[in-house]
Structure 1
Amino acid sequence: MEGKTVVFNSEIDGYNEVVLGNLLHGSWRSLPRFCQSILRNYVGFTILYFVCSALWSLYAYRLNPNVSSPEVSKTRKNFIVKHIWQTMKAMPGYILLEGVSEYMVEQGWTRCYSAIEDVGWPMYFVYFIVYLVIVELGIYWVHRASHEVKLLYRLSHAQHHVYNSKHKVSPFAALAVDPLDGMLHTLPFILATLLVPTHFLTHLLVLFCEGVWSINIHSTIDSAEIWPLMGPSYHLVHHCRPNYNYGNYTIFMDWLFGTLRRPESAGAKNEKNM
């Protein structure tokens, strides 16, 4: 156990140096490793949020042939400012939880492993698929509970659903959530590391890819839907009709549990809210 802890400590130090050493100068190296990891994640997620959201917005609202009217563009810009403000308030909460997750890995409290050679490539893919299934199932039920448990909805998730039409949603809305809401939706990733052997670097990359994916599905781009992916059109249905399409990466859990609604079904609702 002690040997694994040393390996993970060294690995995390390397990631901190790559991000913070190239972006920040000063006394960050004197901080405890836990604080360094939180700072690394905060810097990394902030850069990811602004760069990816800006690129998706550029495509959706400038390069996309379906150009919005000036009135709609002004409305969306006003909401984007609100999206950014809410995201900046929420970011420290779930960044803290991810820091706790890394601390758990360091202490050997999870089933994470450092090198793929520890399990071999075939089992790496098997474990990774199981990890993703746990994440998908966990996020589905956390998301559904955040709607169906009325107190939880009022205290937390309602903040994200003030954006309830196509022109109130944007890529910048992806992380515009209540801090508690963001932390609850991060828990399935941590739970997965407790239940199944998980390659640590893959786990970190999935967390960052989750941010990119969330930005994508909030882009409101009318794109071809590829089964079983939860694309922007499916997720827009959820913002317009919140009792459907709770899934994260896929629509499979919604199909399995009877909460799937195809984008065409929300057409009239979308037009009403525009």
Structure 2
Amino acid sequence: MDLVLSAADYYFFTPYIYPASWPEDDIFRQTISLLIVTNLGAYILYFFFATLSYYFVFDHSLMKHPQFLKNQVYREITFTVQSLPWISIPTVALFLLELRGYSKLYDDIGEFPSGWFRLIVSILSFLFFTDMLIYWIHRGLHHRLVYKRIHKPHHLWKIPTPFASHAFHPVDGFLQSLPYHIYPFIFPLHKVVYLGLYILVNIWTISIHDENGCKNGKLFSGELTKTE
């Protein structure tokens, strides 16, 4: 995230927002900047890709399904807009730890071919690690002690549209994103790769809430929902 923040400081925050006397590495300034960048980026990714998926992928005939709720798209968007700022708070805390040098993120590929080999292995490792942990986190969220209060709101959308992709209870949304954030604190990962994977994960989350994603994965209407 330091790559994004550095660009934001250079082109926007330093020349136009913050006083020149406020250093860029001040932790309070970094926290404010990260909150702005994280929320703005999340909203842009959500509205841009969910809109594309909604108009070009999603089967609009599903809106005639008896379980499709009244004003559902509006309700999905409203739920998301209200949840994302709360999800961003613990997320920014982890980004701040990355900025302060506590992660294993790096920006030098190193000698070819070992550097590139490590990079490719890290991508595969990232995908395996995050997918495995999200599976177990998702199962845990279906436990009867937490399901109704935390995870059930996301299952309100029986026939989800792409706009339901980020319509989580804030605790639910953060927990299911946590594996992506903790990976670089455990394993080395290139900064650009991390940023790219972070963006792709958000796009993937949207894509599994269109018609094809729901039919193929049944992630949100299949076996796990039996705890309702």
Paired AA for residue 105 in structure 1: E
Paired AA for residue 87 in structure 2: Y
Percent identity of the aligned residues?
22
Q: Quick check: 1:58 aligned with 2:49?
A: no
Q: Say how many residue pairs are matched.
A: 215
Distance 2:69 2:18 in 1: 38
Q: Quick check: 1:178 aligned with 2:173?
A: no
1:153 corresponds to which of 123, 147, 155: 147
Distance 1:190 1:107 in 2: 15
Matches within 5 A, 1:116-131: 116-117=109-110, 120-131=115-126
Greater relative contact order structure (CA < 8 Å, 6+ sep): 2
Decide whether the 8 Å contact of 1:135 with 1:189 is kept in 2.
yes
1:44 corresponds to which of 29, 41, 45: 41
- 1:70 deviates by 7.7
Range 95-104 or range 122-131, more displaced: 95-104
**DSSP-derived class of the 1:115 partner:** coil
Partner of 2:127: 132
> Closer, same or farther in 2 for the Cα pair 1:88/1:151, shift >3 Å?
same
Distance 1:128 1:28 in 2: 36
- 1:21 deviates by 2.9
> Closer, same or farther in 2 for the Cα pair 1:186/1:77, shift >3 Å?
same
> Closer, same or farther in 2 for the Cα pair 1:48/1:77, shift >3 Å?
farther
Distance 2:141 2:184 in 1: 23
Q: Quick check: 1:203 aligned with 2:194?
A: yes
Q: Quick check: 1:187 aligned with 2:184?
A: no
Paired AA for residue 185 in structure 2: L
* CA deviation string 1:122-146 (max 9, x = no partner): 1111122112211111111111111
Distance 1:44 1:89 in 2: 15
Structure 1 stretches of 4+ moved >3 Å: 28-31, 69-73
**How high is the TM-score relative to the length of structure 2?**
0.82
CA RMSD of superposed structures (Å): 2.9
Paired AA for residue 80 in structure 1: V
> Closer, same or farther in 2 for the Cα pair 1:217/1:28, shift >3 Å?
farther
Q: Quick check: 1:82 aligned with 2:75?
A: yes
* CA deviation string 1:233-256 (max 9, x = no partner): 233x23222427xxxxxxxxxxxx
Partner of 1:234: 216
Partner of 1:110: 103
